[in-house]
Each structure stands twice: as structure tokens, then as C-alpha cells.
């Protein structure tokens, strides 16, 4: 009996010494950072402040390079432009892997989380789907989806001028992704009870609230237990994933029946019938579902957030909005927004860059000033081989929607609103309580022009 007690005590002491050694990693390396709590790391501060605010505070206190612990896992935060260039480009071969995401499946991760050969293969095969030619084909779909947005805004402007613009843009981006990625016509912009919209919103909401992620950060081995007991995931509110995956599989089956010559050019169609050199399918069904989920998760909330922030910035900066009106009116005028003229808006591009940086001064991104901005200090879409594959898609979608909105509506602040927005960080930086603005028709006698 004494032997067993002594053995247990020795094991506990050995574990204690190992954990002390582990949590002193950054201190031994001479890297500054917040002192981790034994066993919890810096999770409590992250949980209390939110990850975004915690990292901002640590950056101010410890400088451009610091280390902290997400539970057991050590994290090195780098915001030095020169070092970022080394990591993202020069020494990419040594830093090409993404940080593992807790609870992500070990197979068919999707492009964002894939590493090594699997990532290289997927990136090579998917890159043609976002070529200039493919974007041109998708442009018409984006414009059609924006028709529905303008109709909704027109109704809202007549019934009540104040609206949550973030809510409207979420419906728009889901509509665009549904059409461009899956060939799926959602009814998200007309019906807030649309099943696809409900499940996607539920997924993002529950991802930010579930307690599984902090638990797995604390004890990484728990993820294997969760995978073995998949029903636990449903109990903790992750069931929208199951619904969305089933929907993806339905779409894939329909596409198989339609065949390779179907008159669709969405992402699923391209993946389903793309071939490798030996003539075999480039993607398995599981991989197609994973890549589709990745595109949905990456494109839904990010683009809608940029559009909402854009609207908020214009509402609180009337001089900037006036300059955009002038540019849109003089460049596009009464003609339809098309793939060519939407690219001839330099001031719009400046404001877009500023919105991605969250509210800097308007002059910062002028052409003459861009040359003075240090390389790798502004990376809205990342940089290097792992930069966002859909960046041009996102920028085009943003331009189509916002330019057409600006042709017909103006934004003003709501009573009592301020420039500062309470933010929530759940993968993307999003407004915590939506974004309310007032909208007015620029020409109250004008009818909503539709894309044809």
C-alpha cells in the first residue's frame, strides 16, 4: 500500500515539475509576456477580456513580440513587419502550417486548416476557381443577389429609417455564397426563417458560446474523447454543423445526377468534376463537403462584417460619404455596375482599406501615402502562399453591394449612436450587438434599378 501511495506522490511531483517547466517556456527563452497561471495558462484573462482585447492589451504592455498560453498551448504573438515577412514569405517552408483548431476533424479539414502536402494539393486545385474568368461569371450572381438587398432596404427606408444593417448584409452574403459556392438559391433575404440562414447563424452563435473549446484548450487530449462521443457535440449545441453537412451532401448528389455538362459554374460543380492527371476525381465527397464548409465559414461573416463596418464609417463620416457619392456618380452614373467600371474607383479602394483597419483617417491610404506604409504592416487578407484564396472574390462582392447601395441610399447615425462599436472576436472580429444606422433614399422619386 505504501508503495502505491509513494508511486502516486512521485507521479504527481513529476507532473508538477514538468508543468512548471512547460509554463516557463517563454521566460527561459527571454520572451516577454503575461505570467501564466499554473494549469490554466492565460485562459482566465482571455475569457474575461475576450481574446481580441487581451491581445491588444498585451501588445501595448509587452511590445511587438510576446508569448502567452491558451491553456496548455504556448502561443507566440508577432506583429513586427520584418519578422512577419520572414514567417509568411521568406521562411514559409518552416512556418507553413496553421495552428491546430480544437475539435477540427483529423481528415478533410478544408483549405484553411490543412497543412503540408494536403494543403498544397488543395490550394493548387482550388486556385483556378477564383480566377478572373470565374469571378466574371460570378459577378452577375452577385448583382442579382444585390437586387434583393436593395429591395429590402427600400422597404425598410419607407417603413422605418433605422435598421440593423449588419443583419441585412449577413443575409446578402449568405445568398451570394449559396449561389456562387453551392448553386443553392436561399430565401435568406426575404425570409428570416429560412432554414439555411437559421442554421448558419446558429452555428456561429454557438461556436462563440460553447464551453467545449476552452476545455479542449486547457486539456488538448479531450478532443479525442469528444470525437469518440460525437453525441456530446450535439448536446453542447453544435448540431447546425450536422444539418449543413447533410445539405452539402444533398447538393453534391443532385450535381452528380446533373452531370459535368450542367450549366452551372459554382465551387461545388468545379470540385466535383475536376480531375487529376490520371483521370481520377480530384476531390472525394468528404473533401468537397469540407472545402464547401470552409468557404461558407470564411466568407459569410467576414464580408458581411466589412460591409456593416463600411456603412457605420460612412454614417459617422459624412465628408467621406460625400466623396464616395461623387466618385460613384461620376464614374458609373446612370449606367449599370459592371465588372469593369467597379474596378475604377480609387477612393472607394482607399476607404475599403481603412475599414479593414477599423477607422483610421481617410488620407492614410492615398496612392502617394501607400508607398510610405511599411510592407507587411497592413495584411487584411494575410500574405504569402497562405494568403486568403478568396480575397478577390470578397473584394468584388463588397464593391458590388456597397457601390450599388451608395447609388441609391445614404447613411446617417442613429440617435445616441457613437463611432465606437463594441466588438466580439470569434474567429472574425464582429460587432457584438449589430450595427444600427439610418438610411435615406438619395432620390426619393427614384425606383430601385435592377441588374439585367
Q: What is the DSSP string of 193-212?
A: T-HHHHHHHHHHHHHHH-SH
Note the pLDDT tens digit of each residue in 371-387. Answer: 666 777 778 888 899 99
Averaged pLDDT for residues 53-65: 93
More confident residue, 279 or 288: 288
Q: Which CB contacts under 8 angstroms, 24+ apart, belong to 321-328? A: 321/406, 321/410, 321/411, 323/347, 324/348, 324/351, 324/406, 325/406, 325/410, 325/442, 328/403, 328/406, 328/407
Asked which of 24-33, 143-152, 165-174, 418-427 is least confident by mean pLDDT, the reply is 418-427
Judge whether residue 228 has pLDDT over 50: no
Whole-structure pTM value:
0.83
| pLDDT surpassing 50 at residue 452 | no
The pLDDT assigned to 426 comes to 59
Q: Where are the domain boundaries for CATH 1.10.630.10 in the chain?
A: 124-441
CA–CA dist 198, 418 (Å, integer):
30
- 95-99, 140-144, 177-181: least confidently modelled range: 95-99
E-strand ranges in 3-71 read 65-70
Q: Which of 290, 209, 199, 303 is nearest to 252 (CA)?
A: 290
What is the number of alpha carbons within 13 Å of residue 6 lying toward its C-beta?
3
For residue 69, the cross-strand partners are 74
| Residues 313, 412: Cα–Cα separation, whole Å | 10
CA distance 285 to 334: 45
- Cβ neighbours of 416 (radius 10 Å): 6
What angle separates helix 346-357 from helix 285-316, to the nearest 10 degrees? 100
Q: What is the pLDDT of residue 217?
A: 56
Most distant pair of Cα atoms in the chain: their distance: 91
**Burial (0-12, 13-18, 19+ Cβ within 10 Å), 324:** buried
What is the per-residue burial (b if ≥16 Cβ within 10 Å, else e) of 229-258?
eeeebeebbbebbebbeebbeebbeebeee
Distance CA 262, CA 251 (A): 13
Asked if residue 69 has pLDDT above 70, the reply is yes
Q: What is the pLDDT of residue 98?
A: 77
Is domain 124-441 classified as CATH 2.40.30.10? no
Amino acid at each position: 500500500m505504501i508503495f502505491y501511495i509513494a508511486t502516486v506522490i512521485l507521479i504527481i511531483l513529476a507532473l508538477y515539475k514538468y508543468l512548471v517547466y512547460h509554463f516557463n517556456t517563454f521566460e527561459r527563452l527571454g520572451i516577454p509576456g503575461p505570467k501564466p497561471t499554473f494549469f490554466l495558462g492565460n485562459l482566465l484573462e482571455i475569457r474575461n477580456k475576450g481574446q481580441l482585447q487581451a491581445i491588444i492589451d498585451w501588445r501595448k504592455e509587452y511590445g511587438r513580440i510576446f508569448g502567452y498560453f491558451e491553456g496548455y498551448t504556448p502561443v507566440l504573438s508577432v506583429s513586427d513587419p520584418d519578422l512577419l515577412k520572414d514567417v509568411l514569405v521568406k521562411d514559409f517552408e518552416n512556418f507553413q502550417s496553421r495552428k491546430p483548431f480544437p475539435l477540427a476533424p483529423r481528415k478533410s479539414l478544408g483549405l484553411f486548416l490543412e497543412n503540408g502536402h494536403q494543403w498544397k494539393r488543395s490550394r493548387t486545385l482550388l486556385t483556378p476557381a477564383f480566377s478572373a474568368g470565374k469571378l466574371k461569371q460570378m459577378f452577375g450572381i452577385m448583382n442579382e443577389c444585390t437586387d434583393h438587398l436593395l429591395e429590402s432596404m427600400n422597404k425598410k427606408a419607407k417603413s422605418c429609417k433605422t435598421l440593423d444593417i449588419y443583419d441585412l448584409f449577413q443575409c446578402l452574403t449568405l445568398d451570394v455564397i449559396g449561389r456562387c459556392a453551392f448553386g443553392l438559391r436561399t430565401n435568406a433575404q426575404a425570409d428570416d426563417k429560412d432554414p439555411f440562414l437559421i442554421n448558419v447563424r446558429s452555428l456561429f452563435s454557438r461556436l462563440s458560446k460553447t464551453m467545449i473549446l476552452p476545455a479542449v484548450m486547457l486539456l488538448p487530449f479531450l478532443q479525442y474523447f469528444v470525437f469518440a462521443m460525437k453525441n456530446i457535440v450535439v448536446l453542447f449545441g453544435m448540431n447546425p454543423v450536422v444539418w449543413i453537412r447533410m445539405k452539402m451532401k444533398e447538393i453534391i448528389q443532385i450535381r452528380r445526377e446533373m452531370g459535368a455538362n450542367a450549366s452551372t459554374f459554382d465551387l461545388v460543380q468545379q470540385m466535383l468534376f475536376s480531375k487529376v492527371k490520371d483521370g481520377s476525381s480530384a476531390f472525394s465527397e468528404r473533401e468537397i463537403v469540407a472545402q464547401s464548409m470552409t468557404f461558407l465559414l470564411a466568407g459569410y461573416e467576414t464580408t458581411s462584417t466589412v460591409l456593416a463596418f463600411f456603412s457605420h464609417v460612412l454614417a459617422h463620416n459624412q465628408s467621406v460619404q460625400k466623396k464616395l457619392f461623387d466618385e460613384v456618380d461620376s464614374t458609373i452614373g446612370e449606367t449599370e455596375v459592371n465588372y469593369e467600371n467597379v474596378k475604377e474607383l480609387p477612393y472607394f479602394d482607399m476607404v475599403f482599406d481603412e475599414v479593414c483597419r477599423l477607422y483610421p483617417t481617410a488620407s492614410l491610404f492615398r496612392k502617394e501615402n501607400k508607398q510610405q506604409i511599411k510592407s507587411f504592416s497592413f495584411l487584411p487578407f494575410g500574405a504569402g502562399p497562405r494568403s486568403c484564396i478568396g480575397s478577390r472574390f470578397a473584394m468584388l462582392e463588397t464593391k458590388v453591394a456597397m457601390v450599388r447601395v451608395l447609388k441609391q441610399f445614404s447613411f446617417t447615425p442613429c440617435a445616441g449612436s457613437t463611432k465606437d462599436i463594441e466588438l466580439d472576436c470569434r474567429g472574425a472580429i464582429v460587432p457584438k450587438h449589430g450595427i444600427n444606422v439610418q438610411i435615406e433614399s438619395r432620390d426619393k422619386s427614384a425606383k430601385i434599378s435592377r441588374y439585367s
